[in-house]
Amino acid sequence: MKYALLALLTRTPMTGYEIGKQFGTSVGFVWHAPTSQIYPELRRLARGGLLDVDEMPQGRRKKRYSITEAGIRELTDWMNQATVPEPSRNAIFLRVAYLEWADPEAARAQLELMAATFEERRAVLESVLTTLRNRTHPRLAERLQALAPGEHERAAAFKVYAFEGMMESARQQAEWARQGLRLLDGLDTETPPRGEQA
Amino acid sequence: MKYALLALLTRTPMTGYEIGKQFGTSVGFVWHAPTSQIYPELRRLARGGLLDVDEMPQGRRKKRYSITEAGIRELTDWMNQATVPEPSRNAIFLRVAYLEWADPEAARAQLELMAATFEERRAVLESVLTTLRNRTHPRLAERLQALAPGEHERAAAFKVYAFEGMMESARQQAEWARQGLRLLDGLDTETPPRGEQA
DNA sequence: CGAGCCATGTAAACAGTTACATGATTCT
DNA sequence: AGAATCATGTAACTGTTTACATGGCTCG
């Protein structure tokens, strides 16, 4: 979370509200949090000197946060130490592994929901990828402006690469869900709906 | 968590300690938790009538938990209502998306670590899959004994299917990490280590 | 003037991790 | 006797979600 906020703010200063809205867009694939987690974390980071607060004096209370030198150091320090990717503990595997405890129709409904969800995610990620690749993605363009031209390619490449990974992951999961539906087809024809044995 | 414990105990009654050890084996891929989370949760489930406690009277304090009718109903109710798979919020995508903030060597080290980790995970899952497929997996065999023969195929098929998904996922991620290393090769040759622009 | 968005937050609960404590049994 | 393993737990902390509270600004 901490590093997600720091990384986001390397592009441009933002208010907590704006960050919350960003999480509703494509950056939400990379990280997500509700505003109730954002505001306290921003204050904590500001207290720690990693962010600067600009209290906008135009009538309404509004705090725009920007990253400090110390914040950038904190972020790069984190990035420079490699960590092992955490094993993904996703409840969907638990469900699927014990799907014999669901009614056959419920099992089918679950796999259809999975197929639809993963496929939609894949499609969204693919369209994001397209805009990243041809540099029409608005936030990527904005980010590149803040960087030296020599770093453009590197920064853009990593964004594209990250989304490729997420897209491929969604594609693979969608494929897996469809394979599950074919598996059910096989099981249901071999033994009739409520199973006599063999 | 709750449903992981219920599902595990459909195979055979176990103590909290035994469950903790199970999480260190292949079931750990499906779900994992430390004992500090297991013991309180077991007590809670027992208080709720979903588990029976058998306080073993042989000298040492030892509680063997088994699932009750109510527990099975709770599990099947949960299985029967389809839920959308949660988007995986994995810090690795955050790291990768902002890898331009790492030193080139650190970026390479991170991707190499990812490739090694994912590849090892894939290999382990593949070997588990083999034992599941040829029915030599000890816990699968034990599980099937508790079931009517007519349900064998279905139960085994879902276990195989779940591990296929996890294995494919690890395979895809390993491939992605290797692709990332090739990307770095390209970036590093185009612009020398500390980058003059184009 | 009301609807909807902008904007910041608090409270409570839930989930999960890390570290520590304790003692019994089994194996060498 | 000592080490390893069996066995159950507590405490403190971190992270995350859900629900609620408040009020200003903007536009029709």
**Separation CA B164–CA B116 (nearest Å):** 20
- Kindly state the average pLDDT of the residues B138-165: 92
- Kindly state the average pLDDT of the residues B33-60: 88
Q: How many CB atoms lie within 10 A of CB A171?
A: 18
Q: How far is the CA of B36 from the C1' of D11 (A)?
A: 11
- Kindly state the average pLDDT of the residues B147-152: 86
In this prediction the pTM is: 0.91
Which helix H or strand E contains B82, and what residues bound it?
none
User: Which residues lie below 8 Å from residue A184, measured CB to CB, with a gap of 6+?
Assistant: A104, A107, A108, A111
Nucleotides of D under 7 A from a protein CB: 6-12, 15-20, 23-25
Residues of chain A with pLDDT under 50: 193, 195-198
pLDDT at B198: 41
- Kindly state the average pLDDT of the residues B143-152: 86
On whether any CB of chain B is under 8 Å from the CB of A150, the answer is: yes
For A103, A104, A192, the CA distances from A189, given in Å and listed in that order, are 15, 12, 6
SS3 assignment for chain A:
CHHHHHHHHCCCCEEHHHHHHHCCCCHHHHCCCCHHHHHHHHHHHHHCCCEEEEECCCCCCCEEEEECHHHHHHHHHHHHCCCCCCCCCCHHHHHHHCHHHCCHHHHHHHHHHHHHHHHHHHHHHHHHHHHHHCCCCHHHHHHHHCCCHHHHHHHHHHHHHHHHHHHHHHHHHHHHHHHHHHHHHHHHHHCCCCCCCC
- Contact between B38 and B16 under an 8 Å Cβ cutoff? The reply is yes
pLDDT at B58: 59
For A172, A175, A189, B116, B172, the CA distances from B164, given in Å and listed in that order, are 11, 12, 22, 20, 12
CB nearest to A187's CB, from B95, B103, B157:
B157
Q: Residue type at B34?
A: P
pLDDT at B59: 55
* Phi, psi of A63, rounded to the nearest 5 degrees: -120, 120
Q: A90 and B95: CB-CB below 8 Å?
A: no
pLDDT at B68: 96
User: For residue range B67-92, what is the model confidence (pLDDT) as tens digits?
Assistant: 999 999 999 999 999 999 998 889 99
With 50 as the cut, is the pLDDT of residue B55 above it?
yes
- Name the A residues in 48-107 with CB < 8 Å from any B CB: 72, 75-76, 79-103, 106
Q: How many CB atoms lie within 10 A of CB B24?
A: 9
- Kindly state the average pLDDT of the residues B31-49: 95
With 80 as the cut, is the pLDDT of residue B57 above it?
no
CB nearest to B196's CB, from A86, A150, A166:
A150
What residue of B is the nearest CA neighbor of A7? B98
User: In this prediction, what percent of chain B has a pLDDT beyond 90?
Assistant: 82
Where residue B197 falls among pLDDT bands split at 50, 70, 90?
A: very low
Where residue B196 falls among pLDDT bands split at 50, 70, 90?
A: very low
pLDDT at A61: 78
Residues with CB under 7 A from strand C: A 15-18, 20-21, 35-36, 39-40, 42-43, 60-63, 89; B 1, 32-34, 36-37, 59-60
Q: How far is the CA of A163 from the C1' of C14 (A)?
A: 31
pLDDT at A23: 94
pLDDT at B148: 86
User: In this prediction, what percent of chain A has a pLDDT beyond 90?
Assistant: 83
With 50 as the cut, is the pLDDT of residue B140 above it?
yes
Where residue B150 falls among pLDDT bands split at 50, 70, 90?
A: confident
pLDDT at A59: 55
